[in-house]
Amino acid sequence: MRGKIYLDFRNNQLRKKGYPVKVSISGNGKRKVFVLQHYTSAENWNFEKQEPINDKKLLFFIRRKKLQLDELIFNSQSGKRISLETVKNILLDLQQDVTDISFLDFYKLFITELKTKNRYGNAYAYEVALNQLEKFRAKLDFSEINYTLLNDFKTIQFGKENSKNTIHTYLRKYRAVYNEAVRRKLIIDKKPFDGIFKGITVKSNRTKKKHLLKKTIQFLENVENLSVSQQRALDLFLLQFYFGGQDLIDIYYLESNKIKNKRVFFVRDKLGEDGYQFDLRITKKAAKIIDKYSEPGAFVFPWRKSYEGYKTFRNNMRRSLQLIQDAFDIQVQPLGGKLGAKVARHTFATIGKQLFIETDLLRELMGHERNDVDTIYKDKYPQEIRDAAQLKIIE
């Protein structure tokens, strides 16, 4: 299979919105051409790269579709059974006609879809689990997934001395992909995962999360004479704390249009489609950090937005925070440990609890899942109450 995304700038294709962006795919002597439902002018198109020049929103869309198309072509050239109609429906987000796909192929397609939604962290976690499954079975159809096969996989993982938590995580990923295929009506649910988690059930961690004392945060706010990389790491750590302990990935990929009227709007990447939008006040401390590093563009911060770029940034930040911790003997509570990005989230939560801030209010500030009936039906706290609680924790 071959394919490309291009601008059809023939005169007879000109519409009110401009020329259409099209996809051309071919294979097995057949060819299919269709419009991606986006239009632009010839002056705004780089014909060498086949992508827009000035329209950032369209640029991100085209690049995501190119990534999708490249993945599908690669799978096809690797011997996977993917029809031209399947490719079309996937690129148009119709998600139809994929019944001829194997479990492993559908799994890879699922990962590609996560990446097109910029959910690179989740995609990476699914890729790690997929690598283990492919080592166990190089080819795997939906019809082969049953309790016996999954139990054999579990036994082999125990033989590798993997922890219950690790094995549980792998199987959860496989179940999620299987259930997604059921939801798309690709297969009938034969419930192969029933009973498979027996013996590896992971109990909720009731130990106290690693956090910093409030006086330690105040000390870090006044540290001076750091290197450029160390100061940036500390600033981003503090910004996480000021923003309700938001995950680093959500701040790294924060879009410029999510800042308005001195407020910032988040949807946690970790929660995916189940996440809801919540907003926080941008305090003077947070605004100072944003102004220090932000640049005009689609994203608040200029650092490269590929997932590899994010991983490099995250690793550099981790190393810098550890250097700061060693240099100033920063103590992580309650039993020690390394100063990392997650500590900012646990610190915000712990200080909030120590200040007797209501649990539901604290959850709302942190963007927690709203997955219990009591919480779902509670009214949202007024903005002034949320702002007061946020300031009480961070000031």
This prediction has a pTM of 0.59
Residue 54's pLDDT band (cuts 50, 70, 90): confident
Last residue of a domain, one of 163, 183, 203: 183
pLDDT tens digits, 168-194: 999 999 999 999 988 887 888 889 999
Whether residue 166 sits in one domain with residue 71:
yes
The number of distinct structural domains making up the chain is: 2
pLDDT tens digits, 196-231: 999 887 665 555 689 999 999 999 999 999 999 999
Dihedral over Cα of 107, 119, 236, 369: its sign: negative
Whether residue 11 sits in one domain with residue 128:
yes
What amino acid is encoded at 264 in this protein?
A: V
Which residues are within 8 A (CB) of 313 and not within 5 positions of it... i.e. 6 or more apart? 252, 303
Report the pLDDT value the prediction gives residue 272, as an integer from 0 to 100. 56
Report the pLDDT value the prediction gives residue 248, as an integer from 0 to 100. 93
Residue 151's pLDDT band (cuts 50, 70, 90): very high
Dihedral over Cα of 315, 320, 325, 326: its sign: positive
The answer, yes or no, to whether residue 146 has pLDDT greater than 80, is yes
From 8-12, 85-89, 146-150, 200-204, the region with the lowest mean pLDDT = 200-204
Burial class (CB in 10 A: 0-12, 13-18, 19+), 215: exposed
Residue 386's pLDDT band (cuts 50, 70, 90): very high
pLDDT tens digits, 72-130: 888 788 777 777 887 888 888 765 434 467 899 999 989 988 887 777 778 888 999 99
Q: Is residue 188 part of a domain?
A: no
- DSSP annotation string for 16-35: TTBEEEEEEEEETTEEEEEE
Q: Is residue 194 part of a domain?
A: no
- Structural domain boundaries, residue 130: 2-183
**Helices vs strands, H then E, count in the chain:** 15, 8
- Using CA atoms, how far apart are residues 257 and 239, in angstroms rounded to an integer? 18
Whether residue 262 sits in one domain with residue 169:
no
Whether residue 263 sits in one domain with residue 116:
no
Strand partners, 39: 20
| Matching residue, tokens 């057949």 | 30
Strand partners, 203: none
Whether residue 174 sits in one domain with residue 111:
yes
From 94-103, 132-141, 296-305, the region with the lowest mean pLDDT = 94-103
Rounded average pLDDT over 19-36:
92
Whether residue 339 sits in one domain with residue 267:
yes
